[in-house]
Each structure stands twice: as C-alpha cells, then as structure tokens.
Structure 1
C-alpha cells in the first residue's frame, strides 16, 4: 500500500506539503500545477488516507472526470468541482476513488465505489453503465431528465441574462459571443444553453450579434484566435460576452496585441470567475460560477443517498452572480 511519502516523492514535494494538499488545507498557498501533481501521484499510486483514531470510513465515493488530468489542470472550473467533492469526503471520512474517463480500467476502478459522482458531459449509454455500478449516482454540469438520477447544473439562463442586462444598460447594442463546442463520446454536439440564451436575448432586445458570433473551444488559445478573426473581419462589436474566462483571457490578449483597449474600445465579460480575473489589466468583469460549492453539495447529496436510499432524484440548478470589475463601460 502506498504511503504519504511515496506520493510526496513521486510529486516532487515534501511530505508535509503533500499532506496539506490531500487534506485540502485552505491556508496552504500552492500553485495549481503543484496541487495537480500531488493529486495525480495519489491517484496513480492508489493512495488512501489513513483515518484518524476512532474514525471509521463507511463508504467509498467514486469521482469520474470526463476531462483528462491535463485538461482539468487547464480548466479550473472542473478542478474546483472535484476539489469541492474531495473536501466533503475528507471532512466526512469517506474513501475516494478518483479517475478520469480516458484512464485504463476506469470502470473497473469505479466498481469498488458505493456512490458515484460524474463530472462533465456523458452519453445516455455511458450514464446507463454508471447506473449499473451504483444507484447512488449524481451528474454535475449535465442536467438529468431521468427521475431516478440526480444532477446539479448552473442556471445559465439567469447568468447570461444578468450579463447581457449589464451590457444593455451600458448602452451596448452590438454584442459579440465567443463560445466553445463540446462533443459527447458518440460525436454528438452537446447543446450549450449559454448560446441559446444569448441569441434569444439579443433577438428580443434588437441587439446586433450575428456577424460577431464565433465558436471553437473552451480555451484561451481559442479565445485568442476567435478575437483575432473578429478584428481582422473589420467588424467589431462594442462589447463581447465570452462563455468562459479562459476564452475571455485569450480575447483580451488578442485585443491588447492589436492595439485595442478594454474597455475604452470594447467591453468584455467572461464566465467562471477564476482567480486570474482579478489580476488582469483591466480586472475582468465575469459571471461567478459556484464550481467548488457544486462539488460540495453534490457529495452531500450522494452521501445522503447512501445513508437513506430514495427513489426520488434531485435536479438542482445553482444560481450564478455577476461580478462587476473594470472591463466594461458605457458605449
């Protein structure tokens, strides 16, 4: 059985740092890269934390992430969800089996779990296979229409509406959209309700948007490319809504390189509220997505299902809030 020292050695950190990271110590200041190295080392070594004297772990929680470990590191949204789950499990003495969908023997590893939380987007066939592993199943970031499968998603309708209300009140009537495309395992494009809400809002408020709508990937590189494409088209909106902060950060870089100022020349809003948004120049106005809390609540729901099985699923939409900083101004 792997020890804490084994994990620390593999990750290249001290045993004390590894322990604090694995116990989600909020007072520890450490880079996301180092944190991920420790979590990945623990996963590869199948490390299990020792319980405190007198404490018994009654259940094992399985966590399945649809991203690879590298993608998760690049997208703090999904990493924050997982950290919320693991913090709950640590506080309630639950064993954790952490795996990624592209891992070898992924389903075999999860067969030892009593409850299962799946983070991301999955096909109906995949969800059916998950349900065969356990009845205590919850999906995070993907709505379930099955009365027997619980899910937690964000209220994208309210979130996008709040962001566009802010731009509309500032006088913007030409607004761009930079989004990402996500595909399920069977190649099906997963519909993003952010885009639908954006289009519905623009059409109902007589906002010009069609020439400024771009979609690629949820990454800073894609945001950079999409904004350069908008700039080179010679038709820039007065404001842009980006469907994720990484997209917004890439767009901000492209604008800066092309000599355009935010918010003087164009206003910009992101989505997620990652910590870097406070450090950009100017600080980025964005929608705060309660990713960590989604993980905490999700783990609590599955824990409840394990102790008190119920045939009724919970379908939860969590509200987001607009965080106004300095990247938007009146037209």
Structure 2
C-alpha cells in the first residue's frame, strides 16, 4: 500500500502527521512499508495532482493507494483519470475523508470517514474552555474513524 497525502503545520496545530506515522508504523510491522510509494507534500488539490503524476511517471504507485485528504484525493484522482489509470482496476484507492467535499464527485468511493460532529463539538468545547481561562495548555484530540467500503478499492 502506498500513500499520497499532505501535512499541515502552524504553531501547535498539526494535521496529517499522526495519520502518516501510524500508517508507516503499521506497514513496517507487517514488512510492507516501501518509502518509494509514499509521497508527502502540502494539503492541496494541486499538490495531490502533482504527486500522483510524478508517482505514476516514476513507478511510485502501489497496487493500492491511500489518499490522505479530500483535497489531495481530488487532485490525485484527476491525475489518474488523465493518465488513463482505471480505479480500482489499475490502482485501488482509499480516501481519508476529513471533510465531505468529495461525496458529490465520488459518492461510492471507499473511504475512511471522520465524524465531523465529533470534531466540531470538541473544537467548540475547547474554544469555550480557552476563552473562559479554564485551559491554558494545547491539547491533542484523536478523532475516531470508520471505513466505508465502496467501489474504488
């Protein structure tokens, strides 16, 4: 399994780092980690497109690719389509769906879904605590996910 995804970091806020580390660790434990099929850049549609194009041209695609966010997935899937790669026949795809922007474009795709209500509820609670001076230190929140089987993998 390979990965095309992005990382975002500003101050104490990090997005994508834990996901990437966990995937590398799990695949390494199983003897299946290959750095040649892991492509990491910024979280954007353009970056997803560029990384997918580069990976395909350089032989850096695995049989199955985890696309690390909706934005990256949108660009990567566009690149696969332009290259004539058929999903899932030529490359199986699982999308880590952190927002719901892709549902209208690929409603039957295989994805790992976050729970947006959980995210918003915790974000609001943390903000209110911060405003009320009840919390001074940054916190790490781990968001639960589940896999929805579709037709892309």
TM-score bracket, shorter-length normalisation: 0.7 to 0.9
**Paired residue secondary structure (2:123):** helix
> Shift of the alpha carbon at 1:292?
3.9
**Which residue of the partner structure matches residue 119 of structure 2?**
294
**Paired residue secondary structure (2:52):** helix
**Which residue of the partner structure matches residue 34 of structure 2?**
209
CA distance in 2, matches of 1:299, 1:310: 13
> Shift of the alpha carbon at 1:279?
2.9
Provide structure 2 residue ranges, at least 5 long, that are not aligned to the other structure: none
CA distance in 1, matches of 2:116, 2:29: 30
Contact persistence 1:282–1:327 (CA under 8 A): no
> Shift of the alpha carbon at 1:176?
1.1
CA distance in 1, matches of 2:74, 2:20: 19
CA distance in 1, matches of 2:103, 2:9: 31
Contact persistence 1:273–1:286 (CA under 8 A): no
The answer to whether 1:181 aligns with 2:4 is no
**Which residue of the partner structure matches residue 268 of structure 1?**
93
Contact persistence 1:270–1:285 (CA under 8 A): yes
**Which residue of the partner structure matches residue 225 of structure 1?**
50
Q: Which residues in structure 2 correspond to 1:12-31 (within 5 Å)? A: none
**Paired residue secondary structure (2:142):** strand
The structure richer in strand per residue is 2
Instruction: Let me know the Cα RMSD of the aligned residues.
Output: 3.1
Q: Which residues in structure 2 correspond to 1:163-174 (within 5 Å)? A: none
CA distance in 2, matches of 1:276, 1:310: 33
TM-score for the superposition, normalised by structure 2: 0.80
Structure of greater Rg: 1
**Which residue of the partner structure matches residue 103 of structure 1?**
none
Indicate the structure whose relative CO is greater, using CA pairs within 8 Å and at least 6 residues apart.
2
CA distance in 1, matches of 2:82, 2:36: 22
Provide structure 1 residue ranges, at least 5 long, that are not aligned to the other structure: 1-174
CA distance in 1, matches of 2:72, 2:98: 12
TM-score for the superposition, normalised by structure 1: 0.40
Count of residues in Structure 1 that have an aligned counterpart in Structure 2 = 151
**Which residue of the partner structure matches residue 80 of structure 2?**
255
**Paired residue secondary structure (2:54):** helix
**Structure 1's 206 and 273: CA in aligned 2 closer, same or farther, altered over 3 A?**
same
Give per-residue Cα distances to partners, 1:59-80, cap 9 Å, x unaligned: xxxxxxxxxxxxxxxxxxxxxx
CA distance in 2, matches of 1:296, 1:318: 11
